[in-house]
Structure 1
Amino acid sequence: MTLVKFNPEKKNSSLLPGFNDIFESVLGDTFFTDRRISSLPAANISESNAAYHIDLAAPGLKKENFRVGLDGHLLRISSEQQDESNTEGKNFNRREYGYASFTRSFTLPESADVNAIQASYKDGVLSLHIPKKEEARAVSKQIEIQ
C-alpha cells in the first residue's frame, strides 16, 4: 500500500497541466462569485420572550416586489424584480443588473402564532414579526428565599 500526502496548497495537475487553473480563473471571476453570493439576501433571526423576528437585507427593492406566504409552518419569502429601463441604442460591454429574484424559506416552530404575523419594509430591510403563542411565552418571576 502506498500513502500519498494530501497537500491542498499544491494543485495536482500532472495529468492535464493547467486544467485546474482554467476552472479557477473562470469560476473565481468576480462576475460568477458575486452572482453566487448575492443570490440570497442575508437574514438575521432573533427571538424575544414574546416573539420571533426575521430581518432580511434586501436593498433597492420595493415592498410590492415581495411575496410572503405561509404553507403550514413553512414561511416563504420571495421577490422578483425586473429592470425595464430603455436600453435602445446602448452597446453594453458588461451588464450585471436588470433582473433579480430570490426565494427564502423558514420553518417556524410550533410555538409561533402563524395567524398574527406582521411584515414591514423600511430602509432596505424586510422585517417580519412572528408572535409566540400565549402558552409558549417564557414566564419569569422572582422566587423568594426563605
Structure 2
Amino acid sequence: MSNITRWNPISEFEDMMNRYNRMFGLARTNGEREGKDLFSRSDWAPAVDIKETPEAFMVEAELPGMSKDDVKVTVHDGVLTIQGERKSEEETKDKKLHRIERFYGSFMRRFTLPDNVDENSVKANFKDGLLTLSIQKAEPKEPKAIEVEVK
C-alpha cells in the first residue's frame, strides 16, 4: 500500500510567492514565525532527510558541488543549525552561461532537537556532496525538585 500525497495548489503558489519575494529582497514582516525551518532567510535550501534509529537521529543534507569548508554546523539551546554558501560560476571569455537552474548563494536550515538527545554527541561527515549528521539519543532529563526553606 502506498501513501498518496494530495496536491495543494495554494501551498505551491505560496512557495512560488515566497521565492519571488526572496529574489527581490521582499521579506514578510507580519511577525509570523518563519516557516519551513527559516527557509525564507536563505537564497535557497538544501534537501534534508531526518531518520531515527533506536540509538540516534540521522540528518542528511544534499549539498552537491560544495566542500566541507563551505558548511558550518552548530548546536545551541536545542537548535541544530546547518548553514553555508554555494558560490556561483562566473562567466568567462571562453565560456557563456546559457541556462542556470541550480541554486546559488547562502542557505540556513534550523531544526529543533528533541529533549532526548545528547547535544554534545553530534558527529558530522561530508562525502560526495552529502552531509551526514549523527546525534546520539540520551535519557530524557528528569525535572529536579528543589526544596525551598520557608521562613
Give the TM-score taking structure 2 as reference length.
0.56
Tell whether 2:133 aligns with 1:120: no
Corresponding residue to 2:114 among 99, 109, 115: 109
Measured at CA, do residues 112 and 80 of structure 1 come closer, stay the same or move farther in structure 2, by a change above 3 Å? same
2:49 to 44, 49, 54: 44
Secondary structure of the residue that 1:78 maps to in structure 2? strand
Q: How many residues align?
A: 104
How far off is 1:74 after superposition?
0.6
Secondary structure, aligned partner of 1:59:
coil
| Aligned residues of 2:91 and 2:97 also touching (Cα < 8 A) | no
Q: Deviations over 1:53-86 (max 9, x none)?
A: 0001111100000011112101110011324656
Distance 1:98 1:90, change over 3 A: farther
Deviations 1:24-45 (A, max 9, x none): 9xx7xxxx7xx89x92111110
* Other structure's SS at 1:129 match: strand
**SS of alignment partner, residue 110 of structure 1:** coil
Cα gap change, 1:50 to 1:96, in 2 (>3 Å) = closer
Give the Cα–Cα distance (whole angstroms) in 1 for the partners of residues 66 and 52 of structure 2: 26
Question: Any stretches of 5+ residues in structure 1 without a counterpart?
Answer: 1-23, 137-146
Identity of aligned residues (%): 35
Q: TM-score, normalised by structure 1?
A: 0.58
User: Where do 1:1-146 residues align within 5 Å?
Assistant: 39-83=44-88, 85=90, 87=92, 99-133=104-138, 135=139
Letter in 1 for 2:48: A
Would the aligned equivalents of 2:65 and 2:129 in 1 still touch at CA under 8 Å?
A: yes
Residue 123 of structure 1 and its aligned partner are, at CA, apart by 1.4
